Amino acid sequence: MVKLNAAKPRELSEYEAMLPSVPFRKGLQHNIFQTNKTKEQASPVIRDNIRKIKAYNPDWNYSLFDDADIESYISRCYGPVILSYYKRIDPSYGAAKADFFRYLVIYREGGIYLDIKSSLDKPLYKVVEEEDCYLLSYWNNTPGDGHEGFGHYPGIPDYIRRGEIIQWYIAASAGHPLLRLVIATMLRNIDAYNPFTDGVGWTGTMNTTGPIMYTKTIYDTLTAHPDVYPVQWVDIINDCGFRYSIFEKEQGENPSAPSHTAVLSSDYRKASVPLIRNKSSLLNTINKLYLSFLRKTHK
């Protein structure tokens, strides 16, 4: 049988060496970033949310990046090697591309990244302290909490008892060394990606670029080096007023209101092609054919 595993990845330090040196500057820079596939096709509810975020935070710079902006930014600020990793993500996986970008833009610029479906219910001046440099949070996911059961994904080790370290927002200082480590881990995962062990669709994204990778990297690093990386643990939803989704249905709201997957672009969770394009075109073809065969035989 042909062995389809990716080549053995390099040491993590070699991936960190691919990244530009960004001086760590304590305190969150006043930048807010969001992404959407195109600026012109943002739905009315998304546009209203952007106006709300800007109105709450007039002293923060707001930037909306579309697909073309992201590629241009990575090319300009990180160079062709890092851009080549980004381009290896299959176009079906907009969420993974957004994962990739959020780490890079916050590492270099500092500030806050929010998913396009997410929002702020408080002005940031009421939330962000002068000395803050990396705001981390778990879900309120215990029985009776507002997000009961959220964040407990297959793939997150049992020893991380709270589950996911929330990843739909990133709030960090420019040059934060822990975020640099997250980026290096993601690059290594891309090189090591195997669709048959790492999965496709939701599973592949979560493991390779998304919340499972993010949570394991941060939790394990902070556990091993508790006094090295400056972070602040917060209740990002109840205390800081960050909102996971403007499409969440609260008590009393219209139950027929659309979910974010109905309003936003195609759902990556249903993708069945490999998340990462292999450097070998032959291996890409073999992987796609075999995955197609598996789908047909397991219906």
pLDDT, position 279 = 65
Q: To the nearest whole number, what is the mean pLDDT of the chain?
A: 88
Question: In the chain, at which residue ranges do the beta strands (DSSP E only) sit?
Answer: 31-35, 61-65, 111-114, 119-120, 135-136, 169-172, 232-233, 242-243
Is the pLDDT confidence value at 3 over 50? Answer: no
pLDDT, position 269 = 75
> Predicted confidence band at 252 (pLDDT cuts at 50, 70, 90)?
very low
The 10s digit of each residue's pLDDT in 114-123 is 999 999 999 9
The 10s digit of each residue's pLDDT in 111-145 is 999 999 999 999 999 999 999 999 999 999 999 99
Q: Would the CA dihedral through 247, 135, 113, 189 be positive or negative?
A: negative
Against a cut of 0.85, is the pTM above it? yes
pLDDT, position 40 = 83
Distances (CA, A) of 237 to 7, 26, 113, 137, 201: 41, 23, 15, 9, 27
Mean pLDDT of 169-183: 98
Residue 221 and residue 215: Cα distance in Å, rounded? 10
pLDDT, position 268 = 77
Percent of the chain with pLDDT over 90: 77
pLDDT, position 256 = 43
Mean pLDDT of 45-67: 97
Higher pLDDT: 146 or 222? It is 222
pLDDT, position 2 = 39
Cα-trace Rg, the chain: 19
- What kind of architecture, by CATH, is found in domain 12-297? Alpha-Beta Complex (3.90)
The 10s digit of each residue's pLDDT in 14-25 is 999 999 999 998
pLDDT, position 297 = 41
What residue ranges do the domains of the chain occupy? 12-297
> Predicted confidence band at 217 (pLDDT cuts at 50, 70, 90)?
very high
